[in-house]
Amino acid sequence: MAPAERFAYAVARLRAMSGRLLEESLIQRILDCEDLDSALKILAETAYSAWLVELKGSGDFDRIIEAELSNAYTEVQKFVPDERLVQLCRIPYDFHNVKVLVKSAILVREGGERRYDLLTSLGNIPVEELVVAVESEDYRLLPFGLHRLLPLCLSQWEQTRDILQVENSLDAGLFSVLAEIAVATGFDSAVRWVKGRIDAENIRNLLRLKRLDLDIAGAASFLHEGGWIAGEKLLALLNEPVESWPRVLSFSDVSGVFANVPDLSDLGALIVEMERALDEYVSAILARAKYEAFTPENVIAYLWAKEMEAKNLRIALVAVANNTDRTIARGLLRHGR
Amino acid sequence: MPRMSVNPNRMELSRLKKRLFVAKRGHKLLKDKQDALIKAFLERAREGKALREELEEELAACYKSFLLARAQTLPAMLEQALMISGAKCDLRVDYQNVMSVMVPVYSVDQHGSPHNYGLATSSGSLDLALERFAKLIPKLIELAAKEKAIRLMAYEIEKTRRRVNALEHVLIPDFIDTIRYITMKLDEQERSTLSRLMKIKEIVRSH
């Protein structure tokens, strides 16, 4: 375990880097732009300017968002005393890459094409290593339990031909690895954050399943263990109307999220609203880090803020590029930096 | 008016009269078919327009909700979620005879669920967008069938109109002119025969 004092330098660097995070007012300015070119001009005043030269066309803005996020991860990984904190934030991208590879392998067997263009460099495992491992079917050296999970998923597909089951196994693997790493760091804040994330993910999934009218037996495979709220309690929510969920969950912190959502009757609108509110709940878990100089949660707080920044920027740029209603886009923006 | 090049005899006259009768009957039938086709065409065109306007509105709403999903996720993650589809559409084509136009009637059968992806790396907006698109597919197919029928009927109306015009302005007037020509020729022949006979009778009487 890295002693907390070792984080003094890292936290100081992170404080300096936090100053370069995009202000909410800048996102609002981007949203007020009439076209994408003017939005990119505003972006040229920020840290994103370094990647603007690589832009092939104005519609290619996702590339610069990804490049800046990847740069932030690489930068932080260089000076952070415990790399596992960065790994925690990058793991979802590893699992995304694994899903692309598994689906590509399935598509190739069915006469389709590989979609390696969907692989992202944001993960912990280099894309080339992952591709070689899958192509050569040599999974032994893959980290994060993927050496077991990958062949399991492929055999699951062979037996069931059900991609949803395969994806559920990978999602379960993702959250169990997140919990394992958080515990291994020995930092309470990391464990709290991961537990909060799992709760948020479970609530989000439950709302989606409730709308799809799935029964308890079917919904169980979509929920993940390791959060503050037990699986049985969450599953019982499916039999309750959404309006009473805050009351049933009142013992947990996540119940406060429902207070920020005005209308619980329209499930479709609620899901969109709740996704934003749950992201803000996950941000709030680490809010205390601002006032502590030596705590490791500053690392996660910065990286999570960077993730939210990327999300906000993407929402703003997509709204400008497609000339959609800016009020809807403003409603999707995540706050709580 | 140009007339047909025919031998002016009684046989040809009777043949042309028969053809004129058939042409007039055909013209009436084709005219009736054209009127009925135009009526059916206008009906379908009105329905098609209303359906297209309704669908364009719905499609815009679908794209808007898809845009919400796209705005909140990495594009690669969105595409990854949609790499393997769980839903299948079986399309069957039957044909219906409308005024001798074989109009296609499509019936679509959707199996499976469009939600065939993990929930961790996809957003809830994607569920909503896909559901909307899935609901829209039967209507899109219906619109395709309607517009195909409208196109086929428009082509058939055009073809019938050309036939009616050809009968009305070319064939029937030609027949009438030719019949008049043959009748005149035959009358002329009859008159000349009569005058020749009278002349011969006069010569015979004078001797």
Interface residue B112 vs chain A (CB under 8 A) = no
- Dist CA B152 CA B146 (whole Å): 10
List of domains in chain B = 10-197 (1.10.287.3240)
pLDDT of residue B2: 61
Q: List CB contacts (< 8 A) between A95 and chain B.
A: 120-121
Four-way CATH pick for A1-82+296-337: 3.90.1150.10, 1.10.132.50, 1.10.3720.10, 3.40.190.10: 1.10.132.50
Shortest alpha-carbon distance between residue A225 and chain B (Å): 14
| Angle at alpha carbon of residue B84, lines to A310 and A307, rounded to 5° | 10
- Dist CA A239 CA A210 (whole Å): 9
The tokens for A71 are 């740069």
Query: Rounded to a whole number, what is the distance in angstroms from the first to the last CA of chain A?
Result: 28
Residues of B53-71 as b/e, b for ≥16 C-beta within 10 angstroms? eebeebbeebbbbbbbbbb
Interface residue B66 vs chain A (CB under 8 A) = no
- Dist CA B60 CA B49 (whole Å): 16
Q: List CB contacts (< 8 A) between A268 and chain B.
A: 128
- Dist CA A322 CA B2 (whole Å): 65
- Dist CA A12 CA A7 (whole Å): 8
B104 backbone φψ class: left, alpha, beta (φ>0; ψ -120 to 50): beta
Determine the average pLDDT of the residues in A301-329: 90
Q: What share of residues in chain A are helix, strand, coil (percent, to 5)?
A: 75, 0, 25
pLDDT surpasses 60 at B164: yes
Helix (H), strand (E), coil (C) string for B23-54: HHHHHHHHHHHHHHHHHHHHHHHHHHHHHHHH
| Model ipTM value | 0.87
Q: Where are the domains of chain A?
A: 1-82+296-337
pLDDT of residue B39: 93
pLDDT of residue A337: 55
pLDDT surpasses 90 at B43: yes
> What digits encode the pLDDT tens for the residues A171-187?
999 999 999 999 998 88
Crossing angle of the two packed helices B10-72 and B124-166, in degrees rounded to 10: 170
Q: List CB contacts (< 8 A) between A321 and chain B.
A: none
pTM of the predicted protein model = 0.82
